[in-house]
Amino acid sequence: MSMIASTKRRFDIPALLAWFIIAMAAIALFSPVFSPDFAITEVPRLAICLVLLAILGVRYELGFMRNQVGDLILGLVAAAAAWLLIDTAGRHVGDAALGFWTLTAATWASAWLFIERLANWKGMSPLASRFIDLAIPALFGATILVLWQLIVTGAGVPKVLLPAPSEIWLRLTTSVPILWADFQQTFMKAVLIGYVMGCGAGFIIAILVDRVPFLRRGLLPVGNLVSALPIIGVAPIMVMWFGFDWPSKAAVVIIMTFFPMLVNTVSGLAASDAMQRDLMRTYAANYWQTLFKLRLPMAMPFIFNALKINSTLALIGAIVAEFFGTPIVGMGFRISTEVGRMNVDMVWAEIAVAALAGSLFYGLIALAERAVTFWHPSIRG
């Protein structure tokens, strides 16, 4: 038992992070931060950053203010250090030296330490706990963006290879009309219409498959075969059948979303056990009463699982389908066109819009799932 306790103490992640911050700050103190041979004392902003990070690491390692107030100060110091690094790197693009990278590593470690401490907060109200649960992934994502900005700016990565997040944000804010038109064409038309039709058709056919036994043996194997068809082979055919506008993209989405819904719904309808079905028969319930009162409620976790899977498949399918013929609007059209013109920041702006739309769509379905399947152990737990 004592050996286990000593092992836990030896691998105390927050303590290791604090020592790492101190070590990186010490290296930065005696190393050039920018070429040619810019010492940290010659760059006041980075000198302030080093002092803040060094005080942070020493303060934590000595055990001062290891509480929620101290954790908030830790987060503020990490944010200030990141801002100072980003602002200074923008004035020395491509000139970063060892001292700059060690300060970047120290800032990353301080953000990690803050998130680690934040995840261990206890004794809060349910509302505060929920806020912390949302804040942790948001802070983790912000840390990745900061590292991306610092690496691209400090190393002078060409824009055509990887633009900085600041350049992508600038493109987002200056191209709102174009991005909105592409969003309407791809998401509001092709994705939503294809999603509703594909999932709805899959659900209805699943009821028929459950009702008619020979369909289970004949349709499901064919469905598994069709679901394995590559989208790059199906999309050109749909364009030939339904034209270049959004209906052909919606057709691709229908194909991609139909079979996951079909298979999951059929599996969900079989989720109720024999004892539960026998109980319904003792109540003289017919097929449809058993379906609506027992089997569909039991199938809801499976159905929502298909809905969540399809929320991402639909967006991917519509964007890829637009590569094979579309009017001069749409996310896929914009991505393929701007790549050819070397406007990579516009490509990343479209990717950001697609990722945000897909995440919000998935989140809405997850919220609906919590409201409908509140009785399920995965929700109650």
pLDDT digits (tens, 9 = 90+) for 6-16: 444 556 778 88
Q: Which of 124, 157, 190 is the last residue of a domain?
A: 157
Let me know if residue 166 belongs to a domain. Answer: no
Between CA 231 and CA 252 the distance in angstroms is 8
Domain count of the fold of the chain: 2
CA distances from 10 to 6, 114, 209, 344 (A): 6, 20, 59, 46
Query: Mean pLDDT score of the chain, rounded to an integer?
Result: 84
Residue 170 has what pLDDT?
92
Question: String of b and e for 95-125 (b: at least 16 CB within 10 Å)?
Answer: bbbebbbbbbbbbbbbbbbbbebbeeeeeee
Q: Is 34 helix (H, G, I), strand (E, B) or coil?
A: strand
The neighbouring-strand residues paired with 302 are none
Residue 341 maps to which CATH number?
1.10.3720.10
Would you put residue 28 in left (φ > 0), alpha (ψ -120 to 50) or beta? alpha
pLDDT at 162 over 80: yes
With tokens 């001062």, the residue in question is 64
Residues 113 and 261 reside in one and the same domain: no
Report whether 358 contacts 345 (CB < 8 A). no
| Domain that residue 127 falls in | 2-157
Q: Does 167 reside within a domain?
A: no
Query: In the chain, pLDDT over 90 holds for what percent of residues?
Result: 22
Looking at the domain assignment, is residue 165 inside a domain?
Answer: no
What pLDDT digit, counting tens, does each position of 272-329 carry? 777 777 777 777 777 787 778 777 888 888 999 999 999 999 999 899 888 887 778 8
Domain identity same for 56 and 187: no
Roughly how many angstroms between the first and final C-alpha of the chain, as a whole number? Answer: 31
Nearest to 314 by CA among 363, 354, 281: 354
Who contacts 123 (Cβ-Cβ below 8 Å, separation ≥6)? none
Does the model's pTM come out above 0.85? Answer: no
Per-position DSSP letters for 116-148, written without gaps between them: HHHHT--S--HHHHHHHHHHHHHHHHHHHHHHH
Residue 214, CA distances (Å) to 3, 217, 262 in order = 62, 5, 15
Measured distance CA(307)–CA(259) in Å, rounded: 11
Same domain, 257 and 299: yes
Residue 253 in domain: yes
Contact partners, residue 166, CB within 8 Å, separation at least 6: 149
Which of 247, 261, 262, 265 has its CA nearest to residue 194? 247
Does 243 lie in the same domain as 97?
no
Query: Among the three residues 128, 157, 186, which one is the final residue of a domain in this structure?
Result: 157
In a shared domain, residues 181 and 311: yes
Is the domain of 87 the same as that of 143?
yes
> What pLDDT is recorded for position 197?
94
